Amino acid sequence: MRLTYTSDVWYKNAVVYCLDVETFKDGDGDGVGDFRGLTQQIDYLSRLGVTCLWLMPFFPTPNRDDGYDITDFYTVDPRLGTLGDFVEFMRTAHDRGMRVIADLVVNHTSDQHPWFVEARSSRDSPLRDWYVWSDTPEPDDPSQIVFPDKEDSVWEYDEGSGQYYLHSFYRHQPDLNVGNPEVRDEIARILGFWMELGLSGFRVDAVPFLIENVEPRLAEPHEFLADLRAFLTRRKGGSVLLGEVNVPYEDLLPYFGEGLGDQLTMCFDFIGMQNAWLAMARADATPLARALRERPKPPQDCQWAMFLRNHDELTLDKLTEEEQQEIFEAFGPREDMQIYGRGLRRRLPTMLGGDLRRIKMAYSLLFSLPGTPVIFYGEEIGMGENLDAEGRMAVRIPMQWSETGGFTQGEPVREVPEGSFAPDRVNVADQKRDPDSLLRWFQLLIERYRESPELAWGDCTVLDSGHRSVLAHRCDADGATVVVVHNLCDTAVDVSLALEGLAGCHLTDLLVDGTLRVSGDDTVEVPLGPHGSRWFRASAPDVPPEDASVKSR
């Protein structure tokens, strides 16, 4: 596929912005965010450069897992608005050229979902087989317990009907049984419903659990993903499934559909993310460089989704215990900053000690790594966390629009942080007026990233920078090249890079002013400040560098 067709594979260089309607903006003053409030802020998101919104679950819920426990898949939680409000929001987002995807949480339902209420009512219930039951469950493997602070088994005994039901997550989230064709049909109907209302796809929750924990076991668990993808494509070409698949690289390719790419369109790069944190903790790019080199190439039309922080704990589960400890020491030494023994419940800016230079470098890295960047609301202004909130809720705080908060006219549903990350110190309104703010940096990064699709989906080569603290890589596509260099340590460094095939070329800095020249023997000296980041576009010796800063398509 040539870069000319970027709009066909729009997700390959999208800017995905994850938000929770509940905490983004309250439009009616009841203290809870809603679709009307979100709709008012669409222009903010579009000016930031967001091209795709990912909505966390907005369906009716008892809210015991922040909406990941659903009681009705076919409407909007009344606290967040009505289906009418949803459609008005969709229309506004589309008018500003933004696509919308939503969380698809069908590994389980809430135990209050009418399906489960019916299924547990009797062993003869027509919906009994919509869930997974056992008289004699296998003993638990402790490494399979996702929330070890609250659960010690994935089976719960149901007194009423005298059997155990499976719950991969909390006990109030019984697993749906996709081994049952009726359940698979119903899931397709859910997809179809929201597609008809304009969605461009889904972020698929907990994918490995969804296809593996079923009864009877599916002969070909991946066939179900392929069926979903085929269904989606029949309904609307170009729609995506973005999968939460936290497995080692060697097990991941089947989720894309091996060579076919006919299952998930994108998968989050959990391994790259964890190694990026290890690299930052050590001020040594080696772990990240290794991950990028080892990462399998997704099939054509598929893509990696890159992130540094998401709405959950910052999981470090794929690192060794020693590596986890290094990261804890560097970025979350206190016990109340850690969670489940394998992660952190802080946002990025607090972990980096509020050091703006370092924070800017981290996000420059995110936007330049090969893949599609996914950001969590509030990252663009450097919001912190509220450690007084329970568990993962620490990072799910109300969006900080102004000095006084600006999230609601009423009493906010959740508390904002105090101290140096409180709304009077960190907010959108102030940063809009400040040319050196993180918000402005995000806008610049996004503008340059969108102008340089080579970054997201060109051929990426990690270069030898000669300095452990420096990650250098180049992205080539269609004869165009972007070279990117990041310094993970707090002292200035000059690196010498060998750039094959670029002898005599100009390197035009895309972030600040400046041009470098590659020597006749392919090398270039790049000066980097402490936590410095530089993005360059290469242009032939006879092209004036100023014409090369934007590659027109």
156 is catalytic: no
Amino acid at 287: P
CB 25 within 8 A of CB 407: yes
11/275 Cα distance (integer angstroms): 24
Q: State the Cα angle at 505 between 503 and 507, rounded to 5°.
A: 125
The residue among 178, 258, 265 whose CA lies nearest residue 214 is 178
Query: Please, which residue, 205 or 454, has the CB nearer to ligand GLC?
Result: 205
Please list, residue by residue across 62-86, b when 16 or more beta carbons sit within 10 angstroms of its beta carbon and e when fewer do.
eeebbbbbbbbbeebbebbbeeebb
Minimum CB separation from ligand GLC for residue 205, in Å?
Answer: 5
Element housing 548 (H / E): helix 545-548
Residues in the chain: 553
Query: Please, which residue, 312 or 476, has the CB nearer to ligand GLC?
Result: 312
Query: Please, which residue, 307 or 457, has the CB nearer to ligand GLC?
Result: 307
| CB neighbour class for 19 (10 Å; exposed up to 12, middle 13-18, buried from 19) | buried
34/224 Cα distance (integer angstroms): 34
In the set 22, 65, 205, 454, the catalytic residue is 205
270/278 Cα distance (integer angstroms): 12
Query: Please, which residue, 85 or 244, has the CB nearer to ligand GLC?
Result: 244
The residue among 43, 61, 50 whose CA lies nearest residue 19 is 50
CB 498 within 8 A of CB 463: yes
Query: Please, which residue, 90 or 348, has the CB nearer to ligand GLC?
Result: 348
500 is catalytic: no
Minimum CB separation from ligand GLC for residue 151, in Å?
Answer: 12
CB 104 within 8 A of CB 190: yes
Written as one string, the DSSP assignment of 332-376 is --SGGGEETTTEE---HHHHTTT-HHHHHHHHHHHHHSSSEEEEE
Interacting residue ranges for ligand GLC, rule: CB under 6 A: 65, 68, 105, 169, 205-206, 244, 312
Q: State the Cα angle at 271 between 51 and 381, rounded to 5°.
A: 40
Minimum CB separation from ligand GLC for residue 246, in Å?
Answer: 8
Query: Please, which residue, 395 or 438, has the CB nearer to ligand GLC?
Result: 395
Query: Please, which residue, 58 or 441, has the CB nearer to ligand GLC?
Result: 58
SS (H, E, C) 1-57: CCHHHCCCCHHHHCCEEEECHHHHCCCCCCCCCCHHHHHHCHHHHHHHCCCEEEECC
Amino acid at 164: Y
Written as one string, the DSSP assignment of 80-138 is G--HHHHHHHHHHHHHTT-EEEEEE--SB--TTSHHHHHHHH-TT-TTGGGB-EESSPP
In the set 22, 65, 66, 244, the catalytic residue is 244
Query: Please, which residue, 53 or 489, has the CB nearer to ligand GLC?
Result: 53
For residue 99, what are the β-bridge partners? 52
The residue among 505, 547, 548 whose CA lies nearest residue 524 is 505
CB 167 within 8 A of CB 140: no
Using Cβ positions, the residue closest to ligand GLC within the complex turns out to be 68
165/295 Cα distance (integer angstroms): 37
Phi, psi at 249, each rounded to 5°: -50, -40
Minimum CB separation from ligand GLC for residue 101, in Å?
Answer: 14
Element housing 234 (H / E): helix 221-235
Minimum CB separation from ligand GLC for residue 167, in Å?
Answer: 10
Query: Please, which residue, 68 or 421, has the CB nearer to ligand GLC?
Result: 68
Q: Which residues are catalytic?
A: 205, 244
